[in-house]
Structure 1
Amino acid sequence: MWKNKKFIFCILFVSIFFSSESFSKTVKDIVVGKVIIHPFAQDQLEVGSNICGSQHSSPSASGPHIRNGVRINIANHVKIGAIWDFGPAPGGQMRLFEGAASYTGLKHFQFSVGVFNPSFGLSSMQPRGDSIFPERASVATITRGLAAGANRQAVQALFYGNYYHLAISGTAGTAGPGKDGNQRAIVFRSVILPIHTQSFLMHIGISGEWVFQPSHKSSMAGGVSFSDTPENGDGLNDKYIKTGNIPAKNAGAFGLEGAIAWRKLLLTSEYYNLIVNTKTNSRINRQNFYGWYITAAYTLVGEPRAWKSTSASFTSPSCDQKVPTFCHGTGVIELATRFSQMDLESSDVSGGKQNIWSVNINWYPLDIIRISMDYSHTKYYQKENYRDSDSILSMFQVYF
């Protein structure tokens, strides 16, 4: 862990530099005529380890998400995002996180092109700065990575309002380092709010993606693969659940999402079925995988999470006193728990099965700073192989 002291110091220095003015006020936009420039920072430092079980690890530190840039609004008609991902630190690959232009001059519509995260799934559309847990549930990570994750080259048409969100996208490969540059897919999402009152909200949606041209090298057939590290990012690089490459003719993921917000309580859940069609000896075989999660979050101090129509997701909790520092003298506090399951076992593929139960506390001493503490219990099964572990993860995040 001491090898990472220099890295930890650099992360903290960058975070303080970006937020120095925010100890007295929120980071302000830069306004030049009809152009509004919004600085963007999403920098995380995580320290975690497995504390007991069949998998032990020493405490380790990393910066899994270090992203900085700007978002520009021109006369409320054009939005431009320019954000650079400095890669997981230490030693990660740098790449373009967002480089997109959107036309918003037509009411209730938004048309986007470039490198961005197309609309798919509730958890996927919550930026990491607004996420309830430091890391997404495995089913969200795996499904979005198929055709709708970050760094994705895409075009999108979005129709949205106070009670609905409908998006359809065409996606290609990821920008920068990667092996899916020649992939082609269609992604869609539809969300409605059948009930929306001052104290109660119901969110119902469906999402789907279909890869009709899997990524491939010139000398190899196309293929897809599914894998994920433990959800709490406990410092291990091991991917317990992993299928390896599956030679695929096509593949997709389809699922349901739902949420109920009542006063300061928020319940969210998603379920997805993954389909991979493989071709062997002129015969089509279908592999089916599935995963789901359910989350409960309660805002103990502060204003609860609010729904955003442009992303059909929920913001971070905020201070109900309209001050950026130490709401009610303590800061905003949120408690959460989550249970998730990911099953990558099928007739021909054995990628393992994972169950994870987690509890988490989020503390926002300032409006742009978040400190989290997460405990997770993981059970992993693959044929006769069984592992279990208990892990703790702490996170320091600057997000604006």
Structure 2
Amino acid sequence: MRPFATPLLLLTLALPSATLAQSGLEWPEEGVPELRLGDGAVQLAPVLRLDLDAGAYGDQDRPGGFRSGTNLRRARLGVEASLPHDLEATFIWDFGAASVRDASDLYEASLAWDGLGWGTVRVGAYKPQHMLEQAGSSFDLLFIERAVISDLAADVATGTGRQAAGLEVRRDRWSMAAYITGGEMSKPQSWGQRGVAGRVTAIPLRQEGMLVQLGANAAYQWRPGQDGAYNEASLSGYPELRVDSRRFLDTGDVEADSLWAAGPELSGVAGRFFGQAEYQVIGIDTPRGGTRHGEGWYVAASFTLIGAARSHDPETATWKRPSSPEPFDAAAGHWGALEVAGRYSVADLRDGPLQGGVQRIWTAGLNWYPHPMVKVMLNYQDGHLLLTDESRNFKAIGLRLSYSL
């Protein structure tokens, strides 16, 4: 088993086992099932997440383009444990096809301490709270996939399953998160990586029905390494729909002494309207030829047609999905929550000899939340790729069915 996984798994299992002999079991009548041990001193809750995607590409003006298909994007199974002394442990496997190399990957094995009162110390393998789209749950995303520039910048030193130790601070009108990071659990050849990452946010405006949040983030990796080779980096991205493994936006392997990413963010809600935007510049410091840059940004907005609008989550300084007090029941006139959304995203990976291409995508989305644990997403994309020797246009329709326990 990989670093961090073994000790955290043993801690997660050993503490409940030690109290099982002298404790009763309690299952709440409502909400997520929960196993309580030691008069509630230890609480175990299951984690189950399923994302089933289907996508169809069309209007491609060149052969050999993106292929239509289906994908079990996420299939996560694990446990979250609330332990004595303000400790929390999480252990989750992901059997989803998009992250699989053999049959499954360790998604998270982390231990968190909330004893400070104003923040959390977190160690293990997890997704650091770096950037607006990366800090929150994928179940709360506006679209089927994050904007490609968010994934490119996260690959510098964060992303899912990243070995990390960090401090997350939460106050009334601001937050801060800082991490020291290593490689990704799903990429054993990246374990030699070493980096740092951080994010700060502030709320300059908060009043009834309106909240605006500003933020900035940065990541730096001083020891790049991939595919068994150190001092090497690459940047590549999907077309914001992962039913095909092809990625035309791709720099290939680049010799690098270090790489970094940084940028601002803006998000807010006004009544039923919600908006967010991020910009990132990415630098690859090469031993010959200086620093090569890539950049990208996106702007997105949504409107809640039915149900309560998106709400701010102070734990992660992100935004929760729309909600409805009543689950879907057509006979009773309850339709859950319904949201429409739009986004324009750009990623440009061209700078001198760095020729990874340009990707621009318009996306329209319709999100239905018939139940707090169920989400249905329909996306339409109109995309354009500008590559070194060709241009490609494409259109796509994507559908996602999600369940989160």
After superposition, the CA RMSD in angstroms is 2.0
CA distance in 2, matches of 1:225, 1:90: 18
Residues 1:85 and 1:111: Cα distance change in structure 2 (over 3 Å): same
- When residues 277 and 60 of structure 1 are mapped into structure 2, their CA distance, relative to the original with a 3 A threshold, is same
1:65 corresponds in structure 2 to: 74
In 2, Cα distance between equivalents of 1:330 and 1:390: 30
Shift of 1:303: 1.1
| 8 A Cα contact 1:188 1:208, kept in partner | yes
Does the aligned pair in 2 maintain the 1:109–1:158 contact within 8 Å?
yes
User: Is residue 202 of structure 2 the alignment partner of residue 192 of structure 1?
Assistant: yes
Check conservation: 1:63, 1:90, Cα contact below 8 A: no
- Provide the rounded CA distance (Å) in 2 between the counterparts of 1:90 and 1:216: 16
Aligned match of 1:276 in 284, 291, 299?
284
Alignment of 1:336-347 (within 5 A): 336-347=341-352
Q: In the alignment, which residue of structure 2 is the partner of 1:253?
A: 261
Opposite residue 253 of structure 1, the aligned amino acid is A
The alpha carbon displacement at 1:31 in A equals 3.2
- Secondary structure of 1:146's aligned partner: helix
Asked whether 1:398 is paired with 2:393, we answer no
Distance, in Å, in 1 between the alignment partners of 2:307 and 2:364 is 20
Query: Which sits farther off after the overlay, 176-185 or 325-334?
Result: 325-334
Secondary structure (helix, strand or coil) at the match of 2:81 reads strand
Q: Distance in 1 between matches of 2:381 and 2:321?
A: 22
Percent of aligned positions with the same letter in both sequences? 24
Instruction: Report the Cα distance in structure 2 between the residues aligned to 1:154 and 1:325, rounded to whole angstroms.
Output: 40
Distance 1:79 1:358 in 2: 38
Q: After superposition, give the CA deviation of every residue in 1:22-77 in whole Å (9 maximum; x if it has no partner).
A: xx964343333122322212211111111223256664211121111111122471
Among residues 123, 126, 130, which one is paired with 2:140 in the alignment? 130
Unaligned runs of 5+ in 1: 1-23
**SS of alignment partner, residue 143 of structure 1:** helix
Distance in 2, matches of 1:79 and 1:325, equals 33
Report the more deviating stretch, 334-343 or 46-55.
Answer: 46-55
| 1:145 CA displacement | 1.5
Q: 1:96 and 1:26, CA in 2 relative to 1: closer, same or farther beyond 3 A?
A: same
1:382 to 384, 387, 390: 387
Aligned match of 2:367: 362
SS at match of 1:123: helix
| Number of the residue aligned with 1:47 | 54
Aligned residues: 370
> Match for residue 131 of structure 2?
121
Deviation at 1:146, TM superposition (A): 1.6
Q: 2:271 aligned to 247, 263, 284, which one?
A: 263
Q: 1:29 to 1:194 in 2, by over 3 A?
A: farther
Give the TM-score normalised by the residue count of structure 2: 0.87
SS across alignment from 1:317: coil
CA distance in 2, matches of 1:318, 1:216: 41
Query: What CA distance in whole angstroms lies between the structure 1 residues aligned with 2:354 and 2:153?
Result: 17
Q: Which amino acid aligns with 2:284?
A: V
Partner of 1:207: 217
After the TM superposition, which residues 142-161 of structure 1 pair with which residues of structure 2 at under 5 Å, given as runs? 142-161=152-171
Distance 1:28 1:143 in 2: 36
The aligned counterpart of 1:17 is none
- Matching of residue 236 in structure 1 with residue 241 in structure 2: no
Q: Which blocks of at least 5 consecutive residues in structure 2 are unaligned?
A: 1-28
